[in-house]
Amino acid sequence: MNILNNITSDKKIEVALRKSLFPISHWEASPLFGREANSLAKCLKNSTSGIIAEHKRRSPSKQNINSTLSVNEVVKGYENAGVCGMSILTDGKYFGGSLDDLNLARAVTNFPLLRKEFIVDEYQLIEAKANGADIILLIAAILSYKEIRQLSEVAKGLGLEVILEVHNLEELQKSIMPSIDMVGVNNRDLKTFNVSLETSRFLADQIPADFIKISESGINGANAIQDLKNYGYQGFLVGEKFMKTNNPGYTAEEFIKQLNA
């Protein structure tokens, strides 16, 4: 069993436990549940950088990345740097995150927040809404067409934007539908952890023009972003490059300055 299958299997067990502890009514009573979401899609269309910065403490491929900084520090730093939005890892076992991270981030910023999670159940969408998310991620590698349609339609009904994450042409072709707002091409193979920007280049022409294209993982320099913009990408998810430093916000700010130079 590969790491992606392990994560998905564990996530289903985790969600079942959370359901038993926190009924949907608990989340629907959250002060944030009725909040109108901010649009990442609009921010990306109007941005010169397209940077979506990430808060990530660790990962299965890199182990510890940065577990010393508070979420508030990172969020405010990214906001001051002028990023379009922020991705918050909420998986605990493999990435060291939690819903508390999302909630804390929402308490100090109003820019678009993505709950980056292995979504396998509608319940997680309600959690996301109740904890301040604006966008959710659906990973085509772990979901069927029917599941993607059901989850994306529920998300849209909650007022959340949807990013569909794909790794290859097969996943893309099985998953494109009107209830998706953005398509994220993950350059990291979640089965092997190999990273190649060629994945984004190859899939660029296969993504219908009415979807915003986001390139994820392996983006380490301004030249890579300039190159990907030539392929029609408007969003760029950057995490480890910023998070592995002592001051992710400053690193993001300098990176964006290079892009706009």
Mean per-residue pLDDT of the chain:
94
pLDDT score of 114 more than 70: yes
pLDDT of residue 47: 92
Single-letter residue type at 69: L
Q: What is the pLDDT of residues 146-204, one digit of tens each?
A: 999 999 999 999 999 999 999 999 999 999 999 999 999 999 876 677 899 999 999 99
pTM here?
0.95
pLDDT of residue 81: 95
Mean pLDDT for 225-234 is 96
Host H or E run for residue 54: strand 51-55
Q: Tell me if residue 167 falls in helix, strand or coil.
A: coil
Most confident of the following: 70-74, 228-232, 256-260: 228-232
pLDDT of residue 208: 95
pLDDT of residue 104: 96
> Strand locations in 63-216, DSSP E?
63-64, 85-89, 113-116, 135-139, 161-166, 182-186, 212-216
How far is residue 249's CA from residue 70's CA, in Å, rounded to a whole number? 12
> Looking at 87-96, 125-134, 182-191, which range is the least confident one?
182-191
> Looking at 50-54, 152-156, 218-222, which range is the least confident one?
218-222
pLDDT score of 1 more than 60: no
Residue with tokens 């990907």: 228
How far is residue 183's CA from residue 129's CA, in Å, rounded to a whole number? 20
pLDDT of residue 174: 93
Q: Which domains does the chain have, with CATH numbers?
A: 3-32+39-260 (3.20.20.70)
pLDDT of residue 64: 80
Helix, strand, coil proportions of the chain in percent (round to 5)? 45, 20, 35
> Strand locations in the chain, DSSP E?
51-55, 58-59, 63-64, 85-89, 113-116, 135-139, 161-166, 182-186, 212-216, 233-238
Mean pLDDT for 116-137 is 98
* Cα Rg, the chain, nearest whole Å: 17
